[in-house]
Amino acid sequence: MDGRDISSLYLDDGYLAFDITPVEIAVDKDSVDIEMRIFEGPQFTVDNIVIKGNDRTNEHIVRREIRTRPGAKFSRSDIIRSQREIINLGYFNPESLGIENPVNQARGTVNIEYQLEEKPSDQLELSAGYGGFSGLIGTLGVVFNNFSLANVKDRSTWSPLPQGDGQKLSIRLQSNSRFFKSYNFSFTEPWLGGKKPRSFTIGAVQTAFDYSLQGSGKLKITRGFIGLGSQLKWPDDFFSSNTTLNIEQINLDNFRSGGFAITKGKFNNFSIKQTFYKKQHQRSAIP
């Protein structure tokens, strides 16, 4: 199951017709001699890659995630990895994902067909209430996980916003009217340039506290950030790194809460955050 058995070695090297049969050739008291009779057969190469069922997601978004390539030797592990990457996109129903491998014996080739079913991937957060003296309390947040900046002018792709290019757009507003307001925005392009899995993220956050009615002044924190992520080759390509540049401004106006030693003025912070992480994949359904 970990890919180190004989069958996996052959199936990862194009031998679709491979067969191995253990045969007992001698039995002597408490010992048995076993002969492993192997039939290799011809090596098959991949001919065409077919993607079906992607009604909203553009085909190149799926195609760039798969590891099987036309002209390469058939590889079972590449198909399993491709299935996991497609599931991790979050745009398709993992229970309905199917893979067919029609074989052309005469040509020694095999087609690989990925059969997909789109599923909703966007998120909506909405809450509202009334807090008496605090006034109206509410939160509105939306996350579009399959956004398309390029399709903004194409109304046929809107549902409710343009979709299909695998970009992520997040907007969140929160307020209790009198004392607190927060605005969050971020946009992520997972394949900057379209050739390599190099992500680009830009965003901004503003948080404001107003306690002037209680004589404690005001505090406003505004932060902008830019992040660049890339897939690593070591220790393997499951690992990625992300570098984020943060610029923050803190504005104090007679603010006398939260333990601040200084109550008035503007202050700027600059920081760089480096993160290394490993992708968590869902289990593949291929036996």
Read off the pLDDT of residues 48-80 as tens digits, 9 standing for 90 and up. 999 999 999 999 999 999 999 999 999 999 999
Task: Check pLDDT > 50 for residue 178.
Answer: yes
Strand duo 109-115 + 45-52: pairing: parallel
**The Cα angle at residue 150 between residues 148 and 154, in degrees rounded to 5:** 90
Nearest to 124 by CA among 142, 108, 111: 142
- Angstrom distance (rounded) from CA 99 to CA 116: 9
- Angstrom distance (rounded) from CA 105 to CA 102: 10
CB neighbour burial string for 121-134, b if at least 16 within 10 angstroms, e if fewer: beeeeeeeeeeeee
From residue 133, alpha-carbon distances to 99, 159, 177, 178, 269 in Å are: 59, 39, 10, 8, 34
Handedness of CA 257, 258, 262, 268 (dihedral sign): negative
Amino acid identity, position 206:
Q
- Angstrom distance (rounded) from CA 89 to CA 165: 11
Q: Report the predicted TM-score, pTM, of the whole model to 2 decimal places.
A: 0.84
Read off the pLDDT of residues 194-205 as tens digits, 9 standing for 90 and up. 889 999 999 999
Q: What pLDDT, on the 0 to 100 scale, is given for residue 183?
A: 96
Token digits of residue 84: 């996991």
CB neighbour burial string for 18-29, b if at least 16 within 10 angstroms, e if fewer: beeeeeeeeeee
Q: What pLDDT, on the 0 to 100 scale, is given for residue 260?
A: 61
pLDDT-based confidence at residue 286 (cuts at 50, 70, 90): very low
Higher pLDDT, 160 or 107: 107
Percent above pLDDT 70 for the chain: 92
Domain residue ranges in the chain: 6-39, 45-115, 123-278
Read off the pLDDT of residues 8-42 as tens digits, 9 standing for 90 and up. 899 999 999 899 999 998 888 889 999 999 999 99
Average pLDDT along the chain: 89
Q: What pLDDT, on the 0 to 100 scale, is given for residue 133?
A: 65
Q: What pLDDT, on the 0 to 100 scale, is given for residue 287?
A: 40
Q: What pLDDT, on the 0 to 100 scale, is given for residue 211?
A: 84
Q: What pLDDT, on the 0 to 100 scale, is given for residue 26?
A: 83
First to last CA, the chain: 9
CATH no. of 45-115: 3.10.20.310
pLDDT-based confidence at residue 3 (cuts at 50, 70, 90): low
Higher pLDDT, 267 or 283: 267
Other CB atoms within 10 A of residue 35 CB: 11
